[in-house]
Structure 1
Amino acid sequence: MTALAIDNLSHGFGTRRALSEVNLSVEPGSFAVLLGPNGAGKTTLIALATGLYNAQHGDIRIFGHSIRRDPIRALARLGVVFQMPTLDLDLTVGQNMAYHGALHGLSRGEARERAGEELGRFGINDRRDDKVRSLSGGLRRRVEIARALLHRPKLLIVDEATAGLDIAARQLLLSHVRSLCRGGLSVLWATHMLGEVEPSDRLVILHQGTVRWDGRAGDLAPNEGLEAAFLRITGGPS
């Protein structure tokens, strides 16, 4: 069963069309990159795919469950890291994790155990008693991904999570999330950074609200190169 299926998705704000007949799918255990320049419609697409508001046209299904018709079952299988940070800066790392666990119906003990596992994957379990405000940007993003995985979703959607991070922190996040796919997690990674794309990735290029390329990244332009192909497709720098 497809992890994420987006069919003929269209949405607008007033007279501005943000998305037009977008089709996109993410297969189980795969790492798919949603690439596009700023303003391409990536954040709107993710807002719709995560149920922040309803699409005007089209359907979105998570492991077969429509967000419109069966939102509880659909969203229970979803973990999200939004572009804007959502951690409570005045709570500790552990308190942020516990609150998320409670929202998903986990007992206090179960949430604590899972928090230790997820934070441990990032090597930051020793910071669970620190207030989020004291953490660097890179550490905060690690906590956000750990929190998004606390309820063990089958699909993780990440929107521009590496924006503002240095190269080392960005590479660490990418490496960790890619490794989760080998354990069966499905990932949709939205970015405008070409350097975050690998040849083996499923690549969807979004520009001006429409899909301009959908396929294996290495097949886009083996002779031309990804950057040149991206500029040709979008008509400008990312």
Structure 2
Amino acid sequence: MVGVMEGARGAPPAIGAGPLALDIAHVSHAFGARKALDDVSLTVPEGRFVALLGLNGAGKTTLFSLVTRLYDNVSGSIRIFGHDLRRQPMQALARLGVVFQAKTLDPELTVLQNFTYHAALHGYGKAEGRRRAEVLLARVGLADRIGDKVRNLSGGQSRRIEIARALLHEPRFLILDEPTVGLDIKARAAIVEVVRSLIRDEGLSVLWTTHLFDEVRPEDDVVLLHQGRVVTTGTGASIVAATGQDNLQAAFRQLTGTAAEEVH
């Protein structure tokens, strides 16, 4: 479990037993007078898929930027496998793989060239970079595209390559910001399955930010984020049961007071 069920203004979620890939405690963040996050606490247990679910503008990308240290958290704490992100940034980030919402592959380079460039940033030579690229591309079902230029790939294939590249330095925790935005249903399903297989087969921990309810399964841990605050946490099934609704989308609308036309 991510934590205990709570009301819209309740206490922060309880920390579960066992190792935590991510532990965020009482984090707030503002852009001038606008508060983007307000006393946010959540955890990602080791080996779990946690969906950070909220509408556009809920604060998901701001939280993502804090965890990846694009922004510096000045309130609360963020720990990755016990390493405080502010005090031990190198140790924390070494355990983190990141897939940004924006495309980050160079379209004019080949897939392999993108990998070897990224590998060099981690201190790996070309030979080791190629070896890791071959292993990881096979893992996401794209070993045969290693020599192709990125601009010749589909959006879904590019996303799978970005996931593979995020694993190049063997992180234990993967965070993805709206990774299926702009993809068709088939490509979205393929991306979700690749990530779930990494949890199932390799024990990775995952924080998956999304506004798409159909990407969340009943057994997944879910954090509902709305207007910068954690509304509730629990499995998808437990949130639905606690609200007496038929599905997670309806439960979300009830908990946030959101109109049906605002929720996709």
Question: What range describes the TM-score normalised by the shorter chain of this pair?
Answer: over 0.9
| 2:128 aligned with 1:106 | no
Find the counterpart in structure 1 of residue 240 from structure 2: 221
Separation (CA, whole Å) in 2 of partners of 1:99 and 1:199: 39
**Could you tell me how far 1:176 is from its partner in structure 2?**
1.1
Separation (CA, whole Å) in 2 of partners of 1:221 and 1:125: 40
Find the counterpart in structure 2 of residue 188 from structure 1: 207
Find the counterpart in structure 1 of residue 16 from structure 2: none
Which of 150, 154, 167 pairs up with 2:172? 154
Which of 211, 224, 230 pairs up with 2:230? 211
Compute the RMSD of aligned alpha carbons.
Answer: 0.9
**Could you tell me how far 1:110 is from its partner in structure 2?**
1.6
Q: State the identity as a percent.
A: 55
Separation (CA, whole Å) in 1 of partners of 2:231 and 2:99: 25
Find the counterpart in structure 2 of residue 54 from structure 1: 72
Q: How does 1:28-39 map to 2 (within 5 A)?
A: 28-39=46-57
Find the counterpart in structure 1 of residue 4 from structure 2: none
| 2:252 aligned with 1:230 | yes
| 2:161 aligned with 1:143 | yes
| 2:95 aligned with 1:77 | yes
**Could you tell me how far 1:128 is from its partner in structure 2?**
1.1
**Could you tell me how far 1:107 is from its partner in structure 2?**
2.5
Separation (CA, whole Å) in 2 of partners of 1:73 and 1:99: 22
Find the counterpart in structure 1 of residue 197 from structure 2: 179
**Could you tell me how far 1:198 is from its partner in structure 2?**
0.1
Find the counterpart in structure 2 of residue 163 from structure 1: 181
**Could you tell me how far 1:56 is from its partner in structure 2?**
2.3
SS of equivalent to 1:3: strand
Find the counterpart in structure 1 of residue 6 from structure 2: none
**Could you tell me how far 1:158 is from its partner in structure 2?**
0.4
Separation (CA, whole Å) in 2 of partners of 1:129 and 1:3: 34
Deviations 1:154-205 (A, max 9, x none): 0000000000111111111101101111221000000000000000000000
AA aligned opposite 1:2: L
Deviations 1:80-126 (A, max 9, x none): 00111111111111111111111112232221111111111122111
| 2:35 aligned with 1:17 | yes
SS of equivalent to 2:180: coil
SS of equivalent to 1:24: strand
SS of equivalent to 1:52: coil
> How many residues end up aligned between the 2 structures?
238
- Which of 228-237 and 202-211 deviates more? 228-237
**Could you tell me how far 1:14 is from its partner in structure 2?**
0.3
SS of equivalent to 1:221: helix
**Could you tell me how far 1:29 is from its partner in structure 2?**
0.6
TM-score (normalizing by structure 1):
0.98
Stretches of structure 1 lacking an aligned partner (at least 5 in a row): none
Structure 1: 4+ residue segments shifted above 2 A = none
Separation (CA, whole Å) in 2 of partners of 1:148 and 1:160: 15
TM-score (normalizing by structure 2):
0.88
| 2:94 aligned with 1:94 | no
Which of 67, 77, 86 pairs up with 1:68? 86
AA aligned opposite 2:181: A
**Could you tell me how far 1:233 is from its partner in structure 2?**
2.0
